[in-house]
Structure 1
Amino acid sequence: MDRVRQWARGAYERVLELELSGTPSHVAVIQDGNRRYARQQGDDATDGHRAGAETTEQVLEWCRETGVDELTLYTFSTENFERPEEENEALFDLLCEKLREFADADRVHDSGVRIRAIGETGKLPERVREAVDYAERRTAGYDNLQLNIALAYGGRAELLSAARDVTREVDGGDLDPDDIDVRTVERRLYEGPTRDVDLIVRTGGDERTSNFLPWHANGNEAAVYFCTPYWPEFRKVDFLRAIRTYEHREESWRKTRARRALALVRALGGAEVGDARRVLRRFKDALPSAEREALEAEGDTEFERPAD
């Protein structure tokens, strides 16, 4: 029966792979359920974290296979400091071990994986900071796949820190309030992610994003995939389902934006459809690229037909 299940799972994976036509550039993962998995197995929490680390290695390989450019893992939040000290100390030991192991692994160097840590890493024990520095130095020259490890990370804290930095510069006369834009804030976020998040994956059954990358994900209207397996149980079929969710979300998003653009043009001054098409053609090139692509994709609609 195990062989039959493995065969069926492999066949389903191949079907999913054939169905996929696009890949998210940046995937962010909330690795939830390590401790619950350990309790279910009758093990200590540390055993669950170690099993989860094995899943992380597999996900890196799946990202390489499917062409994902950037992967961010929610590994240790600011709230996690409130967990029992002995559990955190064991987790810190595991982080040190895995960071150094990844940094020295041939598969990491062969695949050109760059490792970065994001978050308030200064709050971490010295041995973890040293392991982070080692991993970042060893992989600094790579750019095929960027792996961001979120450590001592909290999305609200990140945004508050950026807001305080902007406020100080305005108060000091170094920044004109009229010059504040998206790039002003982005330059003051934690160094690490280089792209907006396209897809958030959360394991473990909870349907919330838990203060994770709010600027990079919410601003980009990222797709979200919630699944019930605990992180150590997360399989390639779950990963492919998540990408399928992203594809469906992307298609729906483009259509929605195109419809909004048409509704806006039609509403201008009560213009007739013919006038609306002429107005649309006049300012279409000024729209964000996503909206232009959505309009051009619907080449059989009135957007592309000559005005009456």
Structure 2
Amino acid sequence: MIEGDDGRRGPGARVAEPRPIPAHVGIIMDGNGRWAAARGLPRLEGHRRGVDALRAAVKSASDLGVRYLTVYSFSSENWTRPIEEVTDLMGLLKRFIRKDLADLHRNGVRVRIIGERVRLMPDIRALLDEAEILTAANDGLVLVVAFNYGSRQEIAGAMRRIAEGVASGAIDPATIGPDTVSTHLDTAGIPDPDLIIRTSGEQRLSNFLMWQAAYAEFVFLPCHWPDFDRTAMEAALEAYTARDRRFGGIRPAELERKVKTAL
């Protein structure tokens, strides 16, 4: 925005530097059950409303210029929930893919799935495969769905694959470094998240992208996931833009000042 000293456009106006939009946003969608309980509704209704919030989040992220959106849809620990709730969640996943996949594809969204699939029911695996195959050539927002996902399991799997590579002679142990690990994770080829958002006021990662989030910024919102909307997304992105990301270093201007002080 160009403004004069009096707040209007005019001579001597300054051009504000654009705020950086995070390329990759991860969201821990928490609070569906608590949202429902607070309204005297069954937990399933909270999950249904959570799906509505997910649709809105995908659109908001795309509109606002986010390139990658990773959502924690079902963790490897969620299987311990009551069987009725797990069944309901699987049903919602099926309906979401069947109902929304065509719209996502039409809007250029590419779907990637991370998480363990081997033990999933064949119909669930088929739907996940269909979503990835149909949208593989799309060049819009990349929607990464963490389903039956746990970061510890992911890292353990990467270590196993690296060990197999060493055993077969394909990998030289002397060359193993952070990049080696990254290329053996489920998220290979996806940039690390710049921002992690968690709703419902909880402040922990809960086994989500623990390796990838090493330098991510975190925004914890008090609202439950069904209440997450474009305003909440914009607030989280605004909080991100106010952060000073240094990745363990210092800014060039600050470095120059320190050098001059030392001289």
TM-score, length-scaled by structure 1 = 0.74
Which residue number corresponds to residue 63 of structure 2?
A: 65
What's the C-alpha RMSD, in Å, of the aligned pairs?
A: 2.4
Equivalent residues in 2 for 1:129-208 (5 A)? 129-191=125-187, 194-208=190-204
Separation (CA, whole Å) in 2 of partners of 1:256 and 1:136:
36
After superposing the two structures, state which structure 1 stretch, 200-209 or 231-240, moved more: 231-240
Letter of the 1:162 counterpart? A
Deviation (angstroms), 1:36: 1.3
Is the contact made by 1:123 and 1:152 (CA closer than 8 Å) also made in structure 2?
A: no
Separation (CA, whole Å) in 2 of partners of 1:65 and 1:159:
32
In percent, how many aligned pairs have the same letter?
37
Separation (CA, whole Å) in 1 of partners of 2:120 and 2:51:
19
Equivalent residues in 2 for 1:1-308 (5 A)? 21-105=19-103, 108-191=104-187, 194-218=190-214, 221-249=215-243, 251=244, 253-254=245-246, 257-258=249-250, 294-295=251-252, 301=257
Deviation (angstroms), 1:93: 1.0
Separation (CA, whole Å) in 1 of partners of 2:49 and 2:188:
26
Q: Which runs of 5+ in 2 are unaligned?
A: 1-15
Q: Which runs of 5+ in 1 are unaligned?
A: 1-17, 259-293
Deviation (angstroms), 1:37: 1.1
Q: What is the number of equivalent residue pairs in this alignment?
A: 247
TM-score, length-scaled by structure 2 = 0.86
Residues 40-77 of structure 1: CA distance to partner in whole angstroms, max 9, x if unpaired?
A: 22222221111001011111111112100000000000
Q: Secondary structure at the match of 2:59?
A: helix
Q: Which has the larger radius of gyration?
A: 1
Q: Whose helix proportion is higher, 1 or 2?
A: 1
Higher RCO, 1 or 2 (CA under 8 Å, sep at least 6)?
Answer: 2
Letter of the 2:203 counterpart? E
Q: Secondary structure at the match of 2:249?
A: helix
Letter of the 1:135 counterpart? A
Separation (CA, whole Å) in 1 of partners of 2:157 and 2:165:
13
Letter of the 2:152 counterpart? R
Is the contact made by 2:182 and 2:188 (CA closer than 8 Å) also made in structure 1?
A: no
Is the contact made by 1:31 and 1:73 (CA closer than 8 Å) also made in structure 2?
A: yes
Deviation (angstroms), 1:27: 0.2
Residues 123-153 of structure 1: CA distance to partner in whole angstroms, max 9, x if unpaired?
A: 3222221111121122111122100010010
Is the contact made by 1:103 and 1:134 (CA closer than 8 Å) also made in structure 2?
A: no
Separation (CA, whole Å) in 2 of partners of 1:121 and 1:180:
27
Distance 1:126 1:43, change over 3 A: farther
Q: Secondary structure at the match of 1:123?
A: coil
Residues 177-228 of structure 1: CA distance to partner in whole angstroms, max 9, x if unpaired?
A: 101122321221114661111000000111111111011111xx11000111
Letter of the 1:235 counterpart? D
After superposing the two structures, state which structure 1 stretch, 142-151 or 116-125, moved more: 116-125
Letter of the 1:80 counterpart? N
Distance 1:302 1:188, change over 3 A: closer
